[in-house]
Structure 1
Amino acid sequence: MSNTQINQEDINSAVWNACDTFRGVISADTYKDFVLTMLFLKYISDVYQDDYKKLVSQFGDNPELINAMMEKRRFVLPIGASFWDLFEQRSQPGNGQRIDQALHAIEEANGTKLQNVFQDISFNTDKLGQEKQKNDLLRHLLEDFGKDILNLSTERVGSLDVIGNAYEYLIKHFAAGSGKTAGEFYTPPEVSDLLATILEPVEGDQICDPACGSGSLLLKCGAMVRKNSGSKKYALFGQEAIGSTWALAKMNMFLHGEDNHRIEWGDTIRNPLLLDKDSNNLLHFDVVTANPPFSLDKWGHDDASSDPYSRFHRGIPPKTKGDYAFILHMIETLKPGTGRMAVVVPHGVLFRASSEGKIRQRLIEENLLDTVIGLPEKLFFGTGIPAAILIFKKHKTDDKVLFIDASREFKSGKNQNQLTPDNIQKIIDTYKDRETVEKYAYLASFDEIAENDFNLNIPRYVDTFEEEAEIDLAAVRTERIQLKNELQNLELEMEGYLKELGYE
């Protein structure tokens, strides 16, 4: 097998090709879970096999000793439950049952780390057809993942977020193929980098994403702590409403060795589950960040007035737009002293009136809003509209709000735009300097925002108007006369040529 470094494009391509096994048999939403679960199984099997071989080279062929040492590793792969065990038996009947048994054994062997992760994923399902068809489909799937290109040993993968990136890639392509927007908005990696850098999570922080998806944003924040302090003393918390996506987040945490995490499965607004076990109150965090669904309809409006956690005391968001429901929930989970948060929102959140306008005014009057960052359009897959980042802090050092208009600086793509490292660095530098920058940023006082009726529409504060150069009409007239004379001379010259050729 090849030991050269694998890149994400190779993984994405191989995973996409593996989807061919299921196309035309079951829906993309269903086979996405099969493909990503198989990717997880293949990855841990290759890493485990890689570790085993290293111990053999170090201690010799002593199965008892090596198995005892392997049991002390971060995760356990029971005998007979690896991808390669299943691959060897792929041509025999019972593939669906064997795969389910292997996943159950892995779940049992790893305790709370993978508890209930595979409860909603069964390869032994009638959705794949009758037994022979199902067995053939799963044989093809095993063969797709057994190819050399998908050797996912530690040396080849390096620091890649295999599950998270592949998940986002599949979400993107399933949405593109169906012509519909993705139900789960995924956060482009460069936006996750920007959020993690701005929030500056440090050693000892408790970090939460209440709409965590596959967990990639939480992983970026964890990586930022390790980068800045070299410490793994932090804790990750998340909640995800979609069961299969929650399972992917748990797999992602497992793959990255993030054992100090708590990821709950449920609806954050209707049923928040990140609660203190003693008081049953909402847990509070140092860092809260999310890219929640834009303007979610049916978010739980009818029960908001009787919310037991008093999250909506500043006002109840409109029935068909849940943006402020997520914002208010996040604010209520911030620690009083260190709490800081960043949330991705559609631009309507900045200026819509009625109940949203009143909530926005309360948040500004309480001096919680720190910064508004306008992002380019077509940055998020599934929607072409531009988004913004709102940064809130529990303890601010001034009563001003910084507006940054980063909407015009991006790398243009065919279907999607992208923030470059230079674009990101400019945003970060401007955010840290907290000063007005001509045509890019403006530090607004409370009075200025109040004069604008607490409307946060960025063009009201950052003037990006470019004056057109003055036109010298006299010079234009002189040039026009000159061109007219040149044309007249050319016509006379052409007429002479035509006469020479015998044309009148």
Structure 2
Amino acid sequence: MEETQTSAALYQALWNSADILRSKMDANDYKSYLLGMVFYKYLSDKLLLFVAETMDEETDDLQEALATYSKYYDDVDMHEDLIEVVKNELSYAIEPQLTFTALVNRINDGSFQLEELAQGFRNIEQADELFENLFEDIDLYSKKLGATPQKQNQTIASVMKALAVLDVAAHAGDMLGDAYEYLIGQFATDSGKKAGEFYTPQPVAKLMTRIALLGREGKKGFTLYDATMGSGSLLLNAKKYSHEPNTVSYYGQELNTSTYNLARMNMILHGVPIENQYLHNADTLDEDWPTTEPTNFDGVLMNPPYSAKWSADSGFLQDPRFSAFGALAPKSKADFAFLLHGYYHLKQDGGVMAIVLPHGVLFRGNAEGKIRKHLLEEGAIDTVIGLPSNIFFNTSIPTTVIILKKNRIDRDVFFIDASKEFDKGKNQNLMTDAHIEKVLEAYKNRQNIDKFAHLASFEEIKENDFNLNIPRYVDTFEEEEVAPLAEIVTNINRTNQEIAEKTSALMDMLGLLKGTTPEAKQDLQALLNNFKG
């Protein structure tokens, strides 16, 4: 109950903050401001509460904690030791007067200056490599915030006041994850951009993560890789389903710098130890990463941009990620390039990869058909799961989760048609826990289930010319029940009788009409004759 209330307070504060910015910029811009300032508040609050606890003046009141911090910060004898302890523990320090709490106090007394928040951002960024350039997407002096410095000051002050009510440090859930889900769910439709590109809906993320971890939930030092990590939400699901969450190592790459920074914040806010984060800002397809040990991982999870364009330069045929397959994904559809990149980084023994892609990868021909055939002959494709349509924010098309493994003994493929496993939502369809459990149970048992799942042998797949289109293997056709002949005749007679009654009533009404000119009388009579047939 407490967590629900805390989440409700978080959502309400975010909604209020978004209201301030919504009229000034689109959702894709204001999410950076909101989540950046929530993150700064988190760092600030965490520091204040840590200092209060360290100095044996523990409190959950931020004003009291600020007073404690200011007192010892200004103490000549205590200052240096205190800052050293803070930096060793938190990897950063914020001056008392630049903490979120102190800035809001100045907003309330009318003395706040925007430069103070900008300085706070700079201090965090310069404190440790972990925070470098973290706030670079937040332009506090943007004209979108207001035409004059005073207007910009006023806008940011209003947002900070709306966020001040958040008990960020004590949030019971994964706070920024909740914020992402709420913001995207509420505002993705406000944005003219593909807001869903940096976020995988939780039900899909849950399904993929549980498959990747299946049977290895208790493994220490589990390594997980997402080459198109977005905000990191897909990777971070491992914290929920691993029994050794503090030992999981996260490897992620993201092309968009703004989204990459959100992923960095997300990792920190989810409490991932610094030494377990390995995040990279670059083009996954253009240049391989990681190239230094480790390069292969226990689990690979990916939700790449669907049918994206890429160079498909002939030089990639020499790239070890693609060279074994003798063909490159077409320039207009990089789906298989992403898949092969992830597969290349999968461990030989026991590695499990789950990737979401559009259905076209299952049956398109030419280069894609050649790659798919090679993967099937190698036994790489373990399972194909058809997901419902309209469950992602950036597309309504149905998608598929493909599970890949290396060094499989068999070359069969298990098909699950989960396209009907959803509850209808207002904007998106939703897979519930019950739907996910049904899919997981089928995946674990690998048995035929009428109209839901089918284990296809390699010979069967070969007979289908290596086409993996799910309806070829899982027949979901439902025959309509045929009514008895006598019932059909009765219905026809009833319909004919109703037609005759309606025609008679219409003729009566037409008979009341009178033509006012010879031509009108002639037209009316022709009409009546046509009805009489």
TM-score category of the 2 structures, normalised to the smaller one: 0.7 to 0.9
Counterpart contact for 1:185–1:293, Cα < 8 Å: no
Counterpart contact for 2:32–2:137, Cα < 8 Å: no
C-alpha deviation, 1:33, in angstroms: 1.2
1:143 aligns with 2:161: yes
Seen in structure 2, the aligned counterparts of structure 1 residues 369 and 145 have a Cα distance that, compared at 3 Å, is same
Structure 2 distance, partners of 1:140, 1:58, is 30
| Residue 433 (structure 1) aligns with | 445
Find the partner of 1:118 among 95, 111, 135.
135
- CA deviations on 1:333-391 (whole Å, 9 max, x unpaired) are 11222322000011111111111111111110111000000011111112111111000
C-alpha deviation, 1:192, in angstroms: 0.8
1:191 aligns with 2:216: no
| Residue 43 (structure 1) aligns with | 42
C-alpha deviation, 1:31, in angstroms: 2.7
- CA deviations on 1:49-106 (whole Å, 9 max, x unpaired) are 4444555456997945987765553454422332112222336567332112112222
Give the total of aligned pairs.
Answer: 472
| Residue 395 (structure 1) aligns with | 407
- CA deviations on 1:228-253 (whole Å, 9 max, x unpaired) are xx452221100011111111111111
C-alpha deviation, 1:24, in angstroms: 4.1
Relative to the length of structure 2, the TM-score reads: 0.81
Q: Tell me, what secondary structure is at the counterpart of 2:183?
A: helix
C-alpha deviation, 1:185, in angstroms: 4.9
Counterpart contact for 1:339–1:395, Cα < 8 Å: no
C-alpha deviation, 1:133, in angstroms: 1.7
1:370 aligns with 2:388: no
Query: Which letter maps to 2:278?
Result: R
Structure 1 distance, partners of 2:194, 2:58, is 51
Query: Larger deviation: 188-197 or 169-178?
Result: 169-178
- CA deviations on 1:136-171 (whole Å, 9 max, x unpaired) are 11211211112x3x22231xx1122x2233234434
Q: Tell me, what secondary structure is at the counterpart of 1:305?
A: helix
Query: Which letter maps to 1:187?
Result: T
Seen in structure 2, the aligned counterparts of structure 1 residues 305 and 5 have a Cα distance that, compared at 3 Å, is closer
Structure 2 distance, partners of 1:121, 1:180, is 18
| Residue 300 (structure 1) aligns with | 311
Seen in structure 2, the aligned counterparts of structure 1 residues 166 and 5 have a Cα distance that, compared at 3 Å, is closer
Structure 1 distance, partners of 2:4, 2:168, is 10
Which has the higher Rg, Structure 1 or Structure 2? 2
| Residue 502 (structure 2) aligns with | none
Seen in structure 2, the aligned counterparts of structure 1 residues 39 and 7 have a Cα distance that, compared at 3 Å, is same
Structure 2 distance, partners of 1:442, 1:126, is 58
| Residue 322 (structure 2) aligns with | 311
C-alpha deviation, 1:310, in angstroms: 4.2
| Residue 495 (structure 1) aligns with | none
Find the partner of 2:468 among 415, 437, 456.
456
Query: Which letter maps to 1:139?
Result: A
| Residue 28 (structure 2) aligns with | 29
| Residue 172 (structure 2) aligns with | 158
Query: Larger deviation: 470-479 or 134-143?
Result: 470-479
Query: Which letter maps to 1:269?
Result: L
Q: Extract unaligned runs of 5+ from structure 2.
A: 60-64, 73-77, 498-533
Query: Which letter maps to 1:424?
Result: I
Query: Larger deviation: 465-474 or 30-39?
Result: 465-474
Structure 2 distance, partners of 1:10, 1:375, is 33
Higher helix share: 2
- CA deviations on 1:107-130 (whole Å, 9 max, x unpaired) are 333x23323322443424455433
RMSD: 3.1
Counterpart contact for 1:32–1:170, Cα < 8 Å: yes
Structure 2 distance, partners of 1:331, 1:239, is 15
Find the partner of 1:95 among 91, 113, 116.
113
Relative to the length of structure 1, the TM-score reads: 0.85
Find the partner of 1:268 among 284, 290, 296.
284
Q: Extract unaligned runs of 5+ from structure 1.
A: 486-504
Seen in structure 2, the aligned counterparts of structure 1 residues 254 and 101 have a Cα distance that, compared at 3 Å, is same
Query: Larger deviation: 352-361 or 466-475?
Result: 466-475
